[in-house]
Amino acid sequence: MEHWEVIFFFLVISFVYASVGFGGGSSYLAVLTFFAFPFQEMKMTALICNIIVVTGGTIIFIKHKQVDWKKVIPLVVVSVPMAFLGARLKLSEQAFFIILGCSLIVAAILLWIKTKRLEEENTLLKNNYAKDAGIGGTIGFLSGMVGIGGGIFLSPILNLMKWDTPKKIAATASFFILVNSISGIAGQLSVATKEINYTHIGLLSAAVLIGGQVGARLGVNKFNPLMIRRVTALVVLIAGIEVLHKHL
Protein backbone atom coordinates (compact mmCIF):
# COMPACT_ATOMS: atom_id res chain seq x y z
CA MET A 1 0.00 0.00 0.00
CA GLU A 2 1.41 3.39 -1.00
CA HIS A 3 0.15 5.40 1.95
CA TRP A 4 0.85 3.50 5.17
CA GLU A 5 -0.17 6.56 7.14
CA VAL A 6 -3.73 5.95 5.94
CA ILE A 7 -3.75 2.71 7.93
CA PHE A 8 -2.71 4.65 11.02
CA PHE A 9 -5.47 7.23 10.51
CA PHE A 10 -8.07 4.48 10.06
CA LEU A 11 -6.86 2.81 13.25
CA VAL A 12 -7.25 6.05 15.23
CA ILE A 13 -10.58 6.99 13.65
CA SER A 14 -12.11 3.58 14.32
CA PHE A 15 -10.89 3.76 17.93
CA VAL A 16 -12.52 7.18 18.50
CA TYR A 17 -15.77 6.44 16.68
CA ALA A 18 -16.27 2.99 18.21
CA SER A 19 -15.96 4.54 21.68
CA VAL A 20 -19.19 6.49 21.02
CA GLY A 21 -21.00 3.80 19.03
CA PHE A 22 -20.32 5.02 15.47
CA GLY A 23 -18.62 3.37 12.50
CA GLY A 24 -16.44 6.23 11.28
CA GLY A 25 -17.46 6.24 7.61
CA SER A 26 -17.53 10.03 7.31
CA SER A 27 -13.96 10.46 8.51
CA TYR A 28 -12.68 7.48 6.50
CA LEU A 29 -13.98 9.26 3.41
CA ALA A 30 -12.26 12.49 4.44
CA VAL A 31 -8.91 10.70 4.84
CA LEU A 32 -9.29 8.89 1.52
CA THR A 33 -10.16 12.20 -0.13
CA PHE A 34 -7.03 13.83 1.28
CA PHE A 35 -4.85 11.02 -0.08
CA ALA A 36 -6.64 11.05 -3.45
CA PHE A 37 -7.87 7.47 -3.48
CA PRO A 38 -9.98 6.39 -6.49
CA PHE A 39 -13.46 7.87 -6.31
CA GLN A 40 -15.45 4.63 -6.57
CA GLU A 41 -13.17 2.76 -4.18
CA MET A 42 -13.62 5.35 -1.42
CA LYS A 43 -17.29 4.70 -0.70
CA MET A 44 -16.89 0.93 -0.80
CA THR A 45 -13.95 1.12 1.62
CA ALA A 46 -15.81 3.37 4.06
CA LEU A 47 -18.89 1.14 4.13
CA ILE A 48 -16.95 -2.11 4.60
CA CYS A 49 -14.97 -0.53 7.45
CA ASN A 50 -18.25 0.70 8.96
CA ILE A 51 -19.61 -2.83 9.01
CA ILE A 52 -16.48 -4.19 10.69
CA VAL A 53 -16.52 -1.55 13.42
CA VAL A 54 -20.22 -1.69 14.35
CA THR A 55 -20.96 -5.42 13.96
CA GLY A 56 -19.48 -6.43 17.32
CA GLY A 57 -21.22 -3.60 19.14
CA THR A 58 -24.53 -4.40 17.48
CA ILE A 59 -24.32 -8.03 18.59
CA ILE A 60 -23.57 -6.95 22.16
CA PHE A 61 -26.48 -4.49 22.16
CA ILE A 62 -28.85 -7.19 20.91
CA LYS A 63 -27.63 -9.69 23.52
CA HIS A 64 -28.24 -7.14 26.27
CA LYS A 65 -31.71 -6.38 24.84
CA GLN A 66 -30.93 -2.72 24.19
CA VAL A 67 -32.52 -2.82 20.72
CA ASP A 68 -36.23 -1.99 20.84
CA TRP A 69 -37.35 -3.67 17.61
CA LYS A 70 -40.78 -2.04 17.61
CA LYS A 71 -39.11 1.36 17.44
CA VAL A 72 -36.13 0.41 15.29
CA ILE A 73 -38.04 -1.31 12.48
CA PRO A 74 -39.84 1.88 11.28
CA LEU A 75 -36.45 3.58 10.98
CA VAL A 76 -34.71 0.84 9.01
CA VAL A 77 -37.59 -0.51 6.91
CA VAL A 78 -37.46 2.71 4.88
CA SER A 79 -33.77 3.58 5.30
CA VAL A 80 -32.45 0.30 3.86
CA PRO A 81 -34.09 0.59 0.41
CA MET A 82 -33.36 4.33 0.35
CA ALA A 83 -29.67 3.67 1.10
CA PHE A 84 -29.64 1.22 -1.82
CA LEU A 85 -31.20 3.81 -4.13
CA GLY A 86 -28.86 6.53 -2.91
CA ALA A 87 -25.85 4.32 -3.59
CA ARG A 88 -27.09 3.67 -7.13
CA LEU A 89 -27.40 7.38 -7.87
CA LYS A 90 -24.65 8.46 -10.25
CA LEU A 91 -23.00 11.68 -9.07
CA SER A 92 -20.14 13.60 -10.57
CA GLU A 93 -17.05 13.66 -8.38
CA GLN A 94 -17.49 17.36 -7.64
CA ALA A 95 -21.15 16.93 -6.67
CA PHE A 96 -20.22 13.98 -4.44
CA PHE A 97 -17.54 15.92 -2.58
CA ILE A 98 -19.74 19.00 -2.13
CA ILE A 99 -22.53 16.86 -0.65
CA LEU A 100 -19.99 15.04 1.53
CA GLY A 101 -18.43 18.28 2.83
CA CYS A 102 -21.80 19.84 3.66
CA SER A 103 -22.94 16.61 5.31
CA LEU A 104 -19.86 16.51 7.52
CA ILE A 105 -20.37 20.09 8.70
CA VAL A 106 -24.04 19.44 9.55
CA ALA A 107 -23.08 16.24 11.37
CA ALA A 108 -20.44 18.12 13.38
CA ILE A 109 -23.01 20.68 14.53
CA LEU A 110 -25.45 17.94 15.55
CA LEU A 111 -22.75 16.08 17.44
CA TRP A 112 -21.63 19.20 19.31
CA ILE A 113 -25.09 20.05 20.64
CA LYS A 114 -25.45 18.87 24.21
CA THR A 115 -28.78 17.29 25.09
CA LYS A 116 -30.13 16.54 28.53
CA ARG A 117 -29.55 12.89 29.38
CA LEU A 118 -32.72 10.88 29.76
CA GLU A 119 -32.27 7.71 31.71
CA GLU A 120 -35.89 6.86 32.48
CA GLU A 121 -38.22 5.70 29.74
CA ASN A 122 -41.23 7.46 31.28
CA THR A 123 -39.59 10.84 30.52
CA LEU A 124 -39.47 10.13 26.77
CA LEU A 125 -41.77 11.68 24.23
CA LYS A 126 -44.30 9.43 22.48
CA ASN A 127 -42.90 8.11 19.21
CA ASN A 128 -44.41 8.94 15.85
CA TYR A 129 -43.65 5.98 13.60
CA ALA A 130 -44.40 7.87 10.38
CA LYS A 131 -41.95 10.58 11.43
CA ASP A 132 -39.35 7.93 12.34
CA ALA A 133 -39.77 6.32 8.92
CA GLY A 134 -39.31 9.71 7.24
CA ILE A 135 -36.16 10.44 9.24
CA GLY A 136 -34.76 6.98 8.55
CA GLY A 137 -35.50 7.22 4.84
CA THR A 138 -33.96 10.67 4.47
CA ILE A 139 -30.78 9.75 6.34
CA GLY A 140 -30.63 6.41 4.52
CA PHE A 141 -30.74 8.06 1.09
CA LEU A 142 -28.10 10.62 2.04
CA SER A 143 -25.95 7.87 3.53
CA GLY A 144 -26.17 5.81 0.37
CA MET A 145 -25.15 8.77 -1.78
CA VAL A 146 -22.03 9.63 0.20
CA GLY A 147 -21.03 6.16 1.42
CA ILE A 148 -21.62 6.30 5.18
CA GLY A 149 -23.89 4.42 7.57
CA GLY A 150 -25.81 7.46 8.80
CA GLY A 151 -25.46 6.96 12.54
CA ILE A 152 -23.54 10.22 12.88
CA PHE A 153 -26.77 12.01 11.82
CA LEU A 154 -29.28 9.68 13.42
CA SER A 155 -27.90 9.55 16.96
CA PRO A 156 -27.90 13.32 17.72
CA ILE A 157 -31.28 13.77 16.03
CA LEU A 158 -32.84 11.03 18.17
CA ASN A 159 -31.30 12.55 21.28
CA LEU A 160 -32.76 15.96 20.41
CA MET A 161 -36.15 14.29 19.87
CA LYS A 162 -35.94 12.53 23.28
CA TRP A 163 -36.56 9.37 21.28
CA ASP A 164 -35.22 6.96 23.91
CA THR A 165 -32.54 6.54 26.57
CA PRO A 166 -28.88 7.09 25.53
CA LYS A 167 -28.04 3.38 25.57
CA LYS A 168 -30.97 2.47 23.36
CA ILE A 169 -30.21 5.30 20.96
CA ALA A 170 -26.60 4.08 20.72
CA ALA A 171 -27.88 0.56 20.06
CA THR A 172 -30.29 1.85 17.42
CA ALA A 173 -27.57 3.90 15.70
CA SER A 174 -25.22 0.92 15.64
CA PHE A 175 -27.82 -1.33 14.00
CA PHE A 176 -28.83 1.49 11.63
CA ILE A 177 -25.22 1.91 10.49
CA LEU A 178 -24.84 -1.83 9.98
CA VAL A 179 -27.90 -2.41 7.79
CA ASN A 180 -27.50 0.81 5.80
CA SER A 181 -23.84 0.07 5.10
CA ILE A 182 -24.75 -3.39 3.79
CA SER A 183 -27.51 -1.88 1.64
CA GLY A 184 -25.15 0.83 0.38
CA ILE A 185 -22.57 -1.76 -0.67
CA ALA A 186 -25.25 -3.71 -2.55
CA GLY A 187 -26.30 -0.54 -4.35
CA GLN A 188 -22.73 0.32 -5.31
CA LEU A 189 -21.97 -3.18 -6.57
CA SER A 190 -25.07 -3.06 -8.77
CA VAL A 191 -23.68 -0.08 -10.71
CA ALA A 192 -19.90 -0.54 -10.30
CA THR A 193 -17.99 0.08 -13.52
CA LYS A 194 -14.38 0.02 -12.31
CA GLU A 195 -12.28 -2.58 -10.55
CA ILE A 196 -11.78 -2.09 -6.83
CA ASN A 197 -8.45 -2.72 -5.09
CA TYR A 198 -9.46 -5.23 -2.44
CA THR A 199 -5.90 -5.39 -1.11
CA HIS A 200 -6.25 -1.78 0.06
CA ILE A 201 -9.64 -2.55 1.56
CA GLY A 202 -8.27 -5.64 3.34
CA LEU A 203 -5.42 -3.72 4.99
CA LEU A 204 -7.72 -0.89 6.11
CA SER A 205 -10.30 -3.39 7.34
CA ALA A 206 -7.68 -5.01 9.57
CA ALA A 207 -6.79 -1.58 10.99
CA VAL A 208 -10.38 -0.70 11.88
CA LEU A 209 -10.99 -4.16 13.34
CA ILE A 210 -8.21 -3.52 15.86
CA GLY A 211 -9.08 0.12 16.52
CA GLY A 212 -12.80 -0.56 16.77
CA GLN A 213 -12.44 -3.41 19.24
CA VAL A 214 -10.14 -1.41 21.52
CA GLY A 215 -12.26 1.75 21.27
CA ALA A 216 -15.51 -0.04 22.02
CA ARG A 217 -14.08 -1.57 25.17
CA LEU A 218 -12.29 1.49 26.52
CA GLY A 219 -15.07 3.89 25.57
CA VAL A 220 -17.55 2.23 27.87
CA ASN A 221 -15.40 2.36 30.97
CA LYS A 222 -12.67 4.99 30.60
CA PHE A 223 -13.87 7.99 28.61
CA ASN A 224 -16.34 10.82 29.10
CA PRO A 225 -18.93 10.30 26.31
CA LEU A 226 -19.59 14.03 25.89
CA MET A 227 -15.87 14.75 25.54
CA ILE A 228 -15.48 12.02 22.92
CA ARG A 229 -18.52 13.24 21.00
CA ARG A 230 -17.14 16.77 20.89
CA VAL A 231 -13.68 15.63 19.84
CA THR A 232 -15.42 13.65 17.11
CA ALA A 233 -17.44 16.75 16.15
CA LEU A 234 -14.25 18.79 15.75
CA VAL A 235 -12.62 16.10 13.62
CA VAL A 236 -15.70 15.89 11.41
CA LEU A 237 -15.97 19.69 11.12
CA ILE A 238 -12.33 20.05 10.06
CA ALA A 239 -12.78 17.23 7.55
CA GLY A 240 -15.90 18.84 6.10
CA ILE A 241 -14.25 22.25 5.70
CA GLU A 242 -11.19 20.62 4.09
CA VAL A 243 -13.32 18.67 1.60
CA LEU A 244 -15.27 21.80 0.59
CA HIS A 245 -12.07 23.86 0.36
CA LYS A 246 -10.57 21.38 -2.10
CA HIS A 247 -13.66 20.92 -4.28
CA LEU A 248 -15.49 24.24 -4.37
pLDDT value at position 136?
Answer: 94
Instruction: Identify residue 176 by its one-letter amino acid code.
Output: F
pLDDT tens-place values along the chain, 248 residues long: 567 888 999 998 888 888 777 888 888 888 888 887 877 788 889 999 999 988 877 888 888 888 889 999 999 999 999 999 999 988 888 888 898 889 889 888 887 876 555 545 555 567 788 899 999 999 999 999 988 889 888 988 988 888 888 888 888 998 999 999 999 999 988 887 677 778 888 999 999 999 888 877 775 555 566 777 777 788 788 888 888 888 87
Global pTM reads 0.86
pLDDT value at position 86?
Answer: 93
Orientation angle between helical segments 39-63 and 198-221, nearest 10 degrees: 40
Give the Cα separation of 228 and 47 in Å (integer): 22
DSSP assigned state of 158: H
pLDDT value at position 223?
Answer: 59
Compute, in degrees rounded to 10, the torsion defined by CA atoms 200, 201, 203, 204: 110
- H/E element holding 199? helix 198-221
Give the Cα separation of 138 and 228 in Å (integer): 26
